[in-house]
Structure 1
Amino acid sequence: MKEPPLPLEEAQARLLALATPLPIEHVDVEGALGRYLAQPVGARRTQPAADLSAMDGYAMAGGDLAGPWHVIGESAAGHPYAGEVRPGTAARISTGAVMPAGASVVILQEDLAREGDRLTLTGEAPQPEDKHIRRCGLDFALGGEVLAAGTRIGPAQAALAISAGHSHLAVRRAPRVAVLDSGDELALDFESCAAHQVPASNGMMLAAMARALCCEVERIGPVPDQMDSLAAALERASEADVIVTSGGASVGDHDLVRPALLAWGAELDFWRVAIKPGKPILVATRGKQLIIGLPGNPVSSHVTAFLFLLPLLRALLGAADPLPRRIRTTLASPLRAGGSRREFLRANWDGTSVTAQAIQDSGAIAPLAASNVLIDRLAKAPAADPGDPVTAYLLENGGIA
């Protein structure tokens, strides 16, 4: 008896259970951009390393701030004042400059009047007195953890790692991904495509999605719907960590990916997930290799790659949470009642509400390209009206902020 399609969460959990993070390597911080930390990052220094001024003004001793004061020097960023500030004296200070010895307050330059070396208060002194001071260790302190293992390294995280004293970071080796698209209808000549053909766009699309996660990608195909051609293509991909196929995963007479994988020695983990688009997705293994078979319709291929391929790659890279994140928003336009499968509707979110595209056909790429979210519509969901709450996935950055 044929097993029913798996629910989405069960299928994702089974796939991720097959993923073991790849070996650790140490790369320079810039080379780690887009990767995930394999080990936590601790601070090798304190930042700020001393009390600093947060504003341009004058540093003086605390207590009686009525003035006047006598200016005795200057502390500039990178050039601290070597003397000591005593009551009745002040040092000119710039943003980011070290607080002079004896100084515990910074008064903004616009709150003071200066004639020669004499300062008088014309505005208000800060309350509390240290309002304009960045205390030593405000950002982080020596020995503290600044980034947890599993964190994705973006520009801000890279800057933090460098500021904490690191030139290299421990990350997982980049996955080797083979993208194999199959189908007799696929044409490589995008500019002169016969009526019985379609341009072979899926391979490029899937390769681009994998490369956005810093993977090393090899594209293979298009491969004809022939067992010997598929066998040769799979053999060419035998060194890949992940093989992702597009097309040929359904049940038609020319859908040969599943039998070709079984003949190649792969073991099927599951086949078919109760979602639309993308029901005929398959997951298999061959030794340490992980294989994902995606549908050939471009929208189905994109949606299933978003929900399965990208989480798998993030898990291999050591992400703390490899699944895409969902947001709660509201509808800007009505939705009809849902069908028998959980559906992922291509839609546009304006930051406040979401509008589903009018065309939801799994072969229609233009609505997908015009979308920035997928509405997660549960099976047999009732009709919904504008203002009703919905759940959606942000498509940008693969659903990961």
Structure 2
Amino acid sequence: MNVPPPPDDAPVNWAAARERVYAAGRAAMVPDVELPLSEIDGCTLAEQLTTLTDLPAFPTASVDGWAVRGDSPWRVVGRVLAGATPAPLTADGSAVQIATGAMVPTGTTSVLRVEESSRDVHGNVLGTPRTTPEWRAAGEEAAAGEHLLPAGTPIDPGLIGLAASCGHDRLRVRRPVRAAVLVFGDELLTTGRPGAGRVRDALGPAVPAWLRRYGCQPAPTAVVGPVADTLAAHVDGLRAALDEADLICTTGGTMHGPVDHLHPALRELGAEYVVNTVAVRPGFPMLVARVTGPDGRDRFVAGLPGNPQSAIVALVSLVAPLLAGLHGQPDPVLPHHPLGAPIPGRGDFTHLALVRLDPVTRTAYPLRHVGSAMLRGLAAADGFAVIAPGGTGQAGDLVPVVPLPLRSGERP
């Protein structure tokens, strides 16, 4: 039978709910491991990145040309290529041919670009070096032992290249959160056209893609469902997912209707609510619950409403800060953008309104087709404008915008 929510289950203020789930995630961060650089893309730094050497480790030529000592003309006494350690230049009027990236010999006073040089009949080099140095000094980018990036920084290919240039072979990181999705609802179709009382499941295919953009890794069984509308099936599905995943996102069943079994299933599993319903429209019947595993480590269940846009509101509202905490990343700070048109408030509830950002002015414009069961507006959106309880948004107002995860291949 259905179990009613706890008596103190008043909707939580939206901003307070985000703080609460972030703190819960931070207290249960995924374990840190040491991995080779080839395996850390998508992980998070578990400790600050420090360079093991000066960067660069030695002075390096930034152009092809001549490393010279003293004034022109210069007698050529050798050459140095990248990867070699050159002999010092000890005599004025001497030069060595040098390649870009090669170590600059001790005693060099200038590097002359090859295209700005000439040779006399005796083979001596002639030219006038530029006044600005044509080499990178040792430690110009960073000194040995300098802290470059803090713990909690998400790892991307740029960071991996930086770590390699600093001399690292391995780094201590937090692995991606393993996530699974349980789809609830006997009315859902997984293939074909909707009709005759049946609707297509839009969240089973979409939620895993959103989770990947938040840095999650699919659990071995990434998507299960539709799960039968029985309490036993819900309990079995959650228990199996909790054996594989750090986070389980469920879709539907967050209310207390005749076939909404999520709350009693959580109770049977001994779950503890972190947040149960949020004062936000759309999507208020969202939740995050904590389940302690046999190993003593907490797993989380995020209950997303069944209406598709409401489910994504729950993702950006609760799952995003929860994942930031689990990954050991900083609490997300929302960017602010001016509104291009009015957006109504929702009384005592925070209103999350779908917006598209102008690519030049970064002004946020509200979209059409934004009902809680609609996806047309979401497909064109960049995020949700946040209209505080008791207020409205007027054109020109600077408001927070909850960004949707980056589209594949995009950068901020």
* CA positional deviation for 1:295: 0.8
**Contact 2:34/2:171 (CA < 8 Å) preserved in 1?**
yes
Aligned equivalents of 2:302, 2:283: Cα separation in 1: 12
Aligned match of 1:234: 238
Aligned match of 2:4: none
Aligned match of 1:46: 54
Q: Is 1:113 paired with 2:118?
A: yes
When residues 393 and 12 of structure 1 are mapped into structure 2, their CA distance, relative to the original with a 3 A threshold, is: closer
Greater relative CO (CA pairs within 8 A, separation 6+): 2
**Contact 1:282/1:294 (CA < 8 Å) preserved in 2?**
yes
Aligned match of 1:144: 146
Aligned match of 2:304: 294
Aligned match of 1:76: 81
* CA positional deviation for 1:202: 1.1
AA at the equivalent of 1:230 = H
Aligned pairs for 1:359-374 (under 5 A) are 359-374=369-384
Aligned equivalents of 1:179, 1:83: Cα separation in 2: 64
When residues 253 and 344 of structure 1 are mapped into structure 2, their CA distance, relative to the original with a 3 A threshold, is: same
**Contact 2:210/2:405 (CA < 8 Å) preserved in 1?**
no
Q: Is 1:327 paired with 2:328?
A: no
When residues 138 and 195 of structure 1 are mapped into structure 2, their CA distance, relative to the original with a 3 A threshold, is: farther
Aligned pairs for 1:17-166 (under 5 A) are 17-19=23-25, 20-61=28-69, 65=71, 67-82=72-87, 84=89, 86-115=91-120, 117-121=123-127, 125-128=129-132, 131-166=133-168
Q: Is 1:225 paired with 2:229?
A: yes
Aligned equivalents of 1:167, 1:209: Cα separation in 2: 31
Q: TM-score of the superposition, structure 1-length normalised? A: 0.87
AA at the equivalent of 1:27 = L
Aligned equivalents of 2:257, 2:69: Cα separation in 1: 83
Q: Is 1:244 paired with 2:253?
A: no
Aligned pairs for 1:372-391 (under 5 A) are 372-385=382-395, 387-391=396-400
Aligned equivalents of 1:174, 1:312: Cα separation in 2: 13
Aligned equivalents of 1:185, 1:343: Cα separation in 2: 29
* CA positional deviation for 1:2: 5.6
Q: Structure 2 stretches of 5 or more lacking a match?
A: 1-6, 293-297
When residues 285 and 388 of structure 1 are mapped into structure 2, their CA distance, relative to the original with a 3 A threshold, is: closer
User: What value does the CA root-mean-square deviation take over the aligned residues?
Assistant: 2.6
* CA positional deviation for 1:281: 0.9
Secondary structure of 2:12's aligned partner: coil
When residues 211 and 329 of structure 1 are mapped into structure 2, their CA distance, relative to the original with a 3 A threshold, is: closer
1:15 alignment partner, one of 18, 21, 25: 21
* CA positional deviation for 1:394: 2.9
* CA positional deviation for 1:173: 4.2
When residues 285 and 60 of structure 1 are mapped into structure 2, their CA distance, relative to the original with a 3 A threshold, is: same
Aligned match of 1:199: 200
* CA positional deviation for 1:32: 1.0
Paired residues in the alignment total 389
**Contact 2:44/2:176 (CA < 8 Å) preserved in 1?**
no
AA at the equivalent of 1:338 = G
Question: Percent of pairs identical after alignment?
Answer: 30
Q: TM-score of the superposition, structure 2-length normalised? A: 0.85
Aligned equivalents of 2:86, 2:411: Cα separation in 1: 46
